Structure 1
Amino acid sequence: MMTQKSALSFDRVVWLSVATVIVTIALVILRGDQLQLLPQRLSPVADAVGVSPRTQIVLQFDQPLAALPPGATLQLTPPVTGALQIAADRLIFTPGMPLTTDMTYTVQLDAALRGQQGGRLREPLRWQFRTGGLQVVYTAVDAEGRERLFVADANLGGAAERPASPTQLTSGPLSLWDFSVSPRSGQIVYSALKEDGTSDLWAVQLGDLTPTLLAPCPNAVCNSTAWSPDGKLLAYARRNASEFGAAALSPPRLWLFDPASGDTAPVFTDSQKLAFEPSWSADNQWLSYVSPEDGGVGVIQLATGQEQFYPTISGETGRWQPQADRLLYTSFRQVGEQYVAHIVLADPVSGEATNLSGETALVEDGAPAWSPDGAWIAFRRKELTGPGATPGKQIWRMRADGRAAAPLTSDPGFDYSAPQWSPDGRYLLFHRLPLKGPTITLSVWIYDVTTGARWLVAEPGQRPQWAP
């Protein structure tokens, strides 16, 4: 039987326990209120200049983010509409339309955002950046033989304006392998070589000169990247090191990388299928690639797994038409006693194929590139006979059906690289190589399809791409 003294002692214990719980809860609440959600990285960075008009606004925090609370806003001034989403520890704003060129924008994020660990944003975030115009990303080799990444203004005023000095984007003791530019955000991803002969995928945003590791590739070489047109996936080739050889000498396989989640996955269910040089269709549904084991260009429909194959020894991947699931590839064949290279338009669904160069044309065509509206094709051509024959390849243009083929350059002393159309379809970008002279230096040029004017962007420079 419990005595009165025992009952009082029991009551004290109960009340003490309750008080302890209350104090603990209060401390948790107080501690939760004191926890801060700290930004680790802003992109574009504060006061950045020359930012791509197609940039995304990305804020990375010190912890994964909770769901967006009602009314949470990220505002740009001047006003911009777009989509706001959470990806782990990042808040991403994707503008619905490209930003205005050469414009200063102010970004403000309200303080309603919270993290999954209880941290909250104590006060609004606010910073500015300034967009640039159309730019050109290219590589150049330094005095030590290392290939570096640069960006320069497109200088659309032409030769009348003096081009600004280019900005170097990569450094370090080793070179890069290759790179690609996202058509959606302007983000540049490049394959950075390491001392053991492998390479990782790194990313850099125009206006922010701090590279970030995008996809580590331990004991492997990752390169040959291609952004999907919607910017949601990155296709790349991966070569794994093995007991039989170094990674760089190993056979390539195609993989997909999701920047939002960091997930990677092989393209093919058959782990032994080899492929590299991926290229996306405009609707993000098809991939073309070079198939080294079969000797040609392969295509796969990602949703269904449907495949097609086009035999060729060109080593070039297929290039998809912007408004249709058709692609261009280069086919080697024999015309009489002459070996030629022709451009073929293929439909992987119907199986139809059309020789756009002309069945009997004595030419070496290659590196076709569609204009943004799909109406024109720019390409490299070397005429093998006649008054137009040159030692190097020139830049030509023809209609989408092969009609009205005409040269845009006619310089016997130079060889021209694969052309790249500007987003508005007015300009072509390429590098050219002198075939003789006291110095042989690659240089980057722009050609105005409307006026025929051309001007120098960078010398030395090679492998240029537009940064929209």
Structure 2
Amino acid sequence: MTETTQTNNRPLITAFDRTVLIIIGVIVAAIVLTIALGDRVGVTLERVSPVGSARSTSPITIQFSESMNRPTVSERLQFDPPLEGTVTWSANTLIYTPAEPMSPGASYTVTLMRGAQSEGGREVLSDTQFTFEVRRPRVAYLYPADDVPQNLWVVDPANLDSAAQVTFSATGIYDYAVSPDGSQIAFSERNTNGTNDIKLLDLDTGALTQITNCQDSSCTTPVWRPDGRLIAYERVDFNSDLGGVGRSPTRIWLADPFTSPPSSRPLFTQTQILGYNAQWSADGRRIAVFDSASVSILVYDFTTEEILAIPSRAGTSGALSPDGTKLVFPEVPPITEGQSIRQYLRIADLEANTVEFISTPEDPLEDDQARWNPDGTLLAITRRYSDERGTRGHLLYVLDPFNPTDARPVINDPNYADGAFYWSPTGDQLLVQRLRMFDEQGNPDNLARPEIWVTNLDGSAAQMVAHNAYLPRWVP
């Protein structure tokens, strides 16, 4: 009998095994190819802005695909025309902030030359270029002045038909402030229970964000820090749940609109320090408030945490110079019986601890508001003379604060009184709220409503951009 042995003929590698091996091979090849071609792909730019159109105060941003060797980026960044500024970073995004507002109507080209390196050694392999045109600033205001509710409107002074309502509050807007880059407006809205809350309007998208939660308080008068990262505002607590206590004095709080949810805290932790009428220096280092408890202007330095007190009876914080080293503020002389009160201006040097006169109690005039131009070389003020130059209302003047004898009227119309005013971002125009007090025959104009005007510094090209409106602000 012959013995038969069976042989196992199954293959050593199955079809499934082959599939797995092929997939592994493809992955390995992809990895090898990625490593081999990595330097040829290079670092990519995921987003640049602005493109096409920009505000005069818009920052320039470049977002990279990975963390960069930052000096290699800065040294390859070019602007045409040249544009001075500072570079900061947020993660993988370069932020270039111009030292001065860009010229409205001008076109700028930004170029990043190839060769900028990531921290991993990869490079930007080609030049990147983008262009934008700076649009002219617009004007915001509250309307109507003679009815309720008041809401925010925005208009292009070069096209008055462009006037558009941007808030639609049923209870009305109390006051507001435009963000430094012109993209947002922080406003105080009246609530139905008598309180006020601060909200944030995105002018590009129309989105609304509530910044404060003042259920038993009045939160008003927002003021942006010049970098756009914080908002100072005034808060009064009603203390409704504390019988017989009454309302608190006004204090300054700081809101961070970029936390989620937005957060707030008092400017001063010491409860005995009061304050209102907050004003920032352009570098954000200092903030000035008026403290009614000490009857003085308090200038707080965030760097040193020091508080400088400047006695003043006028009840306002004045105007900090752009570099934060000077403070112009109104003062009133001691009140004596039978003497008329004339408010005058003084200038304090916060570094040298000196105070000088811009005008004096003996001058035949009364000064009111003052604001520095963007480069800190000129002041705009509202003034009323009591001599042969006299007018019945305050008019807008421009002067050199370090040679204040040569004050030049802006719009010299004695039939008007000039009120709130603001410099344009580039300092070549003024925005002013005006009221026609008398007609051409000198009779009181009892039907007058406040008007919003834009003018050059010498009064040329003056035009009314809104009627029956008030609280104007530039929108860069």
TM-score normalised according to structure 1 size: 0.71
**Distance of aligned partners of 1:418 and 1:378 in 2 relative to their CA distance in 1, 3 Å threshold:** same
Deviation, 1:252, is 1.4
Equivalent residues in 2 for 1:16-35 (5 A)? none
Which residue in 1 is equivalent to 2:414?
A: 412
1:145 pairs with 2:144: no
**Distance of aligned partners of 1:324 and 1:295 in 2 relative to their CA distance in 1, 3 Å threshold:** closer
Higher-Rg structure is: 2
Which residue in 2 is equivalent to 1:198?
A: 195
Cα distance in 2, alignment partners of residues 93 and 168 from structure 1: 35
Cα distance in 2, alignment partners of residues 240 and 335 from structure 1: 32
Alpha carbons 2:236, 2:249 under 8 Å: kept: yes
Query: Over residues 131-167 of structure 1, what are the superposed CA-to-partner deviations in whole Å (9 max), with x where a residue is unaligned?
Result: 7421111111277522211111132xxxxxx523311
Which residue in 2 is equivalent to 1:440?
A: 448
**Distance of aligned partners of 1:204 and 1:197 in 2 relative to their CA distance in 1, 3 Å threshold:** same
Query: Over residues 228-264 of structure 1, what are the superposed CA-to-partner deviations in whole Å (9 max), with x where a residue is unaligned?
Result: 1222221112222204589995321111222333332
1:163 pairs with 2:155: no
| 2:222 counterpart SS class | strand
Deviation, 1:338, is 3.9
Equivalent residues in 2 for 1:309-328 (5 A)? 309-328=309-328
Deviation, 1:184, is 3.7
**Distance of aligned partners of 1:311 and 1:423 in 2 relative to their CA distance in 1, 3 Å threshold:** same
Which residue identity does 2:184 align to in structure 1? Q
Which residue in 2 is equivalent to 1:135?
A: 138
Equivalent residues in 2 for 1:344-359 (5 A)? 344-358=346-360
**Distance of aligned partners of 1:249 and 1:434 in 2 relative to their CA distance in 1, 3 Å threshold:** farther
Deviation, 1:368, is 0.3
Alpha carbons 2:137, 2:156 under 8 Å: kept: yes
Equivalent residues in 2 for 1:32-51 (5 A)? none
Cα distance in 2, alignment partners of residues 414 and 245 from structure 1: 47
Deviation, 1:356, is 0.2
Which residue in 1 is equivalent to 2:464?
A: 456
Which residue identity does 1:446 align to in structure 2? V
Cα distance in 2, alignment partners of residues 215 and 316 from structure 1: 25
Which residue in 2 is equivalent to 1:175?
A: 172
Alpha carbons 1:444, 1:462 under 8 Å: kept: yes
Deviation, 1:216, is 3.0
Alpha carbons 2:252, 2:267 under 8 Å: kept: yes
Alpha carbons 2:106, 2:134 under 8 Å: kept: yes
**Distance of aligned partners of 1:438 and 1:270 in 2 relative to their CA distance in 1, 3 Å threshold:** closer
1:382 pairs with 2:387: no
Aligned match of 1:85 in 77, 81, 90? 90
Cα distance in 2, alignment partners of residues 317 and 286 from structure 1: 12
Deviation, 1:417, is 0.8
**Distance of aligned partners of 1:332 and 1:449 in 2 relative to their CA distance in 1, 3 Å threshold:** same
Alpha carbons 1:142, 1:148 under 8 Å: kept: no
Structure 1 unaligned blocks of 5 or more = 1-43, 59-66, 72-77, 106-128, 156-161
Cα distance in 2, alignment partners of residues 464 and 443 from structure 1: 9
Query: Over residues 253-303 of structure 1, what are the superposed CA-to-partner deviations in whole Å (9 max), with x where a residue is unaligned?
Result: 111222333332221121232111110112212111121223332222223
CA RMSD of aligned residues (A): 4.0
Of residues 240-249 and 170-179 in structure 1, the stretch that sits farther from structure 2 once superposed is: 240-249
Deviation, 1:95, is 5.2
1:228 pairs with 2:233: no
Aligned match of 2:257 in 256, 259, 284? 259
Which residue identity does 1:404 align to in structure 2? D
Which residue identity does 2:411 align to in structure 1? T
**Distance of aligned partners of 1:322 and 1:442 in 2 relative to their CA distance in 1, 3 Å threshold:** same
| 2:272 counterpart SS class | coil
| 1:208 counterpart SS class | coil
Structure 2 unaligned blocks of 5 or more = 1-48, 69-78, 109-131, 438-443
Which residue in 2 is equivalent to 1:400?
A: 401
Cα distance in 2, alignment partners of residues 351 and 189 from structure 1: 35
Which residue in 1 is equivalent to 2:19?
A: none
Deviation, 1:387, is 1.7
| 1:417 counterpart SS class | strand
User: How many pairs were matched up?
Assistant: 384
Deviation, 1:57, is 9.7
Deviation, 1:404, is 1.2
Deviation, 1:205, is 2.8
1:211 pairs with 2:208: yes
Equivalent residues in 2 for 1:83-122 (5 A)? 85=90, 94=95, 96-97=97-98
Cα distance in 1, alignment partners of residues 353 and 58 from structure 2: 38
| 2:343 counterpart SS class | strand
Which residue identity does 1:85 align to in structure 2? S
TM-score normalised according to structure 2 size: 0.70
**Distance of aligned partners of 1:190 and 1:130 in 2 relative to their CA distance in 1, 3 Å threshold:** farther
Alpha carbons 2:232, 2:252 under 8 Å: kept: yes
Cα distance in 2, alignment partners of residues 222 and 414 from structure 1: 33
Which residue in 2 is equivalent to 1:429?
A: 431
Q: Report % sequence identity.
A: 24
1:304 pairs with 2:304: yes
Query: Over residues 163-201 of structure 1, what are the superposed CA-to-partner deviations in whole Å (9 max), with x where a residue is unaligned?
Result: 233111111210112111222454211111111122221
Which residue identity does 1:346 align to in structure 2? A
Query: Over residues 418-438 of structure 1, what are the superposed CA-to-partner deviations in whole Å (9 max), with x where a residue is unaligned?
Result: 321112111111111122325
Cα distance in 2, alignment partners of residues 205 and 452 from structure 1: 33
| 1:364 counterpart SS class | strand
Which residue identity does 1:203 align to in structure 2? L
Alpha carbons 2:183, 2:204 under 8 Å: kept: no
Query: Over residues 287-321 of structure 1, what are the superposed CA-to-partner deviations in whole Å (9 max), with x where a residue is unaligned?
Result: 11121223332222223332222333333222111
| 1:419 counterpart SS class | strand
Alpha carbons 1:197, 1:247 under 8 Å: kept: no
Cα distance in 1, alignment partners of residues 464 and 135 from structure 2: 19
Of residues 392-401 and 225-234 in structure 1, the stretch that sits farther from structure 2 once superposed is: 225-234
Which residue identity does 1:135 align to in structure 2? R
Which residue identity does 1:328 align to in structure 2? V
Deviation, 1:369, is 0.8
